Structure 1
Amino acid sequence: MKLAPPAIWILLFVSLNGCAKDRSLAPPPDSEQITVTVKVPKELEAETMQVMYRSATCKRVTHGASGQRIEVEGHHSIDVQLQRQGLSDLYQASLAKDGGGACKWHLANVIFGVTYADPTRFGENVTSGAGGGVVVIFDHNNSPRGGADIKVDGDLIIKKDYYPWVKENFLNGYRKRVSLAGQGSIYLNYQALQARKVYFEPVLHSGFLVSSEGTKVHKIGSFIKFTYPDGSVLADGRSEPDFRKLQSIRLAAESKQ
């Protein structure tokens, strides 16, 4: 018996299983838009925004702890560069809420933020670190950075204080990075189901630098040493600067001006 070519078997398999969908995005012309705007301080730059669409039509298969087959929503991720608005400090991107296509994609979440444009201004071989990130979730799924810490109704306006944080690490190789110390973790996580406009304004207090020196040996009682803008030095077991202390130092200094 003559066997069919491999390509024929593939076509038969696809047609029998009904999974020959075009998984590309194809937003309809009348799709509602969600606008993301970042006001970028002059020392910083907007990072590339990670955008995720999800689909209940084009599912993907994963497996549980005991090997059972689990179907979950499919996802499609793209990178989007925020565009500067004229000569202003505003950077913006518009995203289709309805991703369209055969998979009927919908906008699920975005991850964006700011970082230092020139980290070497803090010293040779200094690289950009973490901080200054935002996650906005538009559906009921977690993002790649986890779930939401804050849920909001309507549009989302975020204005947060940040401080330059130069940190040296010695264990597992020497590294020196400049990060943004703010309130909370590296990313601020929001769920905004009804938002059509997202605005993020990071306020950088560049004159109030905090530095840290990591431990050089694994030893109980050996902590990261933080030097704050007022000259105080603390090694109290923290892994990140004390944000309230930074705010207090700045506000006290500004009240004397």
Structure 2
Amino acid sequence: MPHRIPVVFFVLFFSLSGCGQDYSLSPPVDSEEITVTVKLPKKLKAETMWVMYRSTKCKRVSYGASGQRHERDGHHSVYKELQRQGQSDLYQIKLPKDGGGACKWHLANVTFGINYAAPTRFGKDVTSGAEAGVVVIFDHNNSPRGGADTEVDGDLTIKKDYYPWIDEEFLGPYKKTISLVGEGSIYRSYEALTAQQVYFEPVLHSDFIVYSAGPKVKKKGNYTVFTYPDGSVVADGRGGPDFQKLQSIRLAAESKK
């Protein structure tokens, strides 16, 4: 007899007890605001910000195969663009902490990134690769990208170094991308429960480009080859550039000036 594969059905829905059917945001006019400011280098652009609100009143409910009930705080996502401040290099947005509405939403976390504004300046076939960015958590819940790497008291100021990374891949469809290399994970996460101001300043070291080329033949021991700004070549199985090596190369070069 053929094997029978059990199928489990999950029913997901919002339980809006006490909320009617309205779970939209409606921030009060006197809501306290959090200001997010990004100081953006000319060659970079700010990606759309993902803003998440949570509600302890309007629960997200799921039922398992045996009918067991699982409750979690409801969540509501909105997407916002940071606005340039005059002719400056500052981009800003103000977010109400109190999302209001029948569900009594509160600001939970924001996710925002940066990337090259014009990848084709590196070649007509170059496309955008991995962006770099920041997650800021304003309550005690994880963000969609997990928990915080760093916890801070009060306002949050972030100033990080980034390097251009041009990568060519030959296995599968050919592609050539430009990405930003920073310290740690692509998105750094911060918990800032009492912040009213969030300031992010990416420092782009555009003269220190790292190049990489993936293998053309899939074979054990064939690794991506990284060529660093000082001319050194490394192929050690690493999945991305060595940030600390880039830092050392730049600092050594700057100390000779």
TM-score, normalization by structure 2: 0.90
Deviation at 1:163, TM superposition (A): 0.3
Q: Deviations over 1:2-24 (max 9, x none)?
A: xxxxxxxxxxxxxx965623111
Number of the residue aligned with 2:154: 154
Could you say which residue in structure 2 is the equivalent of 1:76? 76
- What letter corresponds to residue 214 of structure 1 in structure 2? G
Q: Distance in 1 between matches of 2:102 and 2:135?
A: 27
Instruction: Give, as a single letter, the amino acid of the residue that structure 1 aligns with 2:59.
Output: K
Structure 1 residue 234 displacement after superposition: 0.2
Matched with 2:244 is 244
**In 1, distance between residues paired with 2:17 and 2:28?**
27
Larger helix share, 1 or 2: 1
Q: Equivalent residue for 2:24?
A: 24
Q: CA deviation at 1:221?
A: 1.7
Partner of 2:108: 108
The question of whether the paired residues in 1 share the 8 Å contact of 2:19 and 2:103 is answered with no
State the 4+ residue runs in structure 1 displaced beyond 6 angstroms: none
CA distance in 2: counterparts of 1:17 and 1:126, whole angstroms: 51
| Cα deviation code 1:60-100 (max 9, x no counterpart) | 12356977321111111011000001110000000000000
Quick one: structure 1 residues 58 and 203, their matched pair in 2 at CA, closer, same or farther if it must change by over 3 Å? Answer: same
Secondary structure in 2 matching 1:194: coil
Query: 1:18 & 1:208 partners in 2: Cα distance?
Result: 57
Which structure 2 residues correspond to residues 52-67 of structure 1 after superposition, within 5 A?
52-63=52-63
- Shift in alpha-carbon separation, 1:63–1:185, aligned structure 2, 3 A: farther
Q: Which deviates the most, 225-234 or 62-71?
A: 62-71
Give ranges in structure 1 of 5+ residues lacking alignment: 1-15
State the partner residue of 1:34: 34
Work out the percentage of aligned pairs sharing the same amino acid: 71
CA distance, structure 2, for counterparts of residue 58 and residue 17 of structure 1:
7
Q: What SS is found at the alignment partner of 1:28?
A: coil
| Kept after mapping to 2: 8 A contact 1:131/1:182 | no
2:227 counterpart residue number = 227
Q: 1:64 to 1:219 in 2, by over 3 A?
A: farther
CA distance in structure 2 between the partners assigned to 1:125 and 1:65 by the alignment = 49
SS at match of 1:241: coil
Secondary structure of the 1:37 match is strand
SS at match of 1:164: strand
Query: In the alignment, is residue 121 of structure 1 matched against residue 147 of structure 2?
Result: no
Is the contact made by 2:223 and 2:236 (CA closer than 8 Å) also made in structure 1? yes
Instruction: Rate the CA distance shift 1:68–1:221 in 2: closer, same or farther, 3 A.
Output: farther
2:101 and 2:233 map into 1 onto residues whose CA distance is 57
Deviation track 1:14-49 (CA, whole Å, cap 9, x = no partner) reads xx9656231110111111000000000010011111
Amino acid at match of 1:199: Y
Note if contact 1:131-1:185 (Cα within 8 Å) is conserved in structure 2: no
Aligned equivalents of 2:193 and 2:106: distance in 1? 12
Structure 2 residue 152 is matched with structure 1 residue 145: no
- Unaligned residue ranges in structure 2 (runs of 5+): 1-15
Residues of 2 paired with 1:66 and 1:241: CA distance? 48
In structure 1, the residue corresponding to 2:121 is in which secondary structure?
helix
Q: For 1:244, what is the secondary structure of its paired residue? A: helix
Deviation for aligned residue 1:54: 0.5
Return the alpha-carbon distance in structure 1 between the equivalents of residues 155 and 60 of structure 2: 31
Q: Which amino acid in 2 is paired with 1:251?
A: L
TM-score (normalised: structure 1): 0.90
Measured on the aligned residues, the alpha-carbon RMSD in Å equals: 1.7
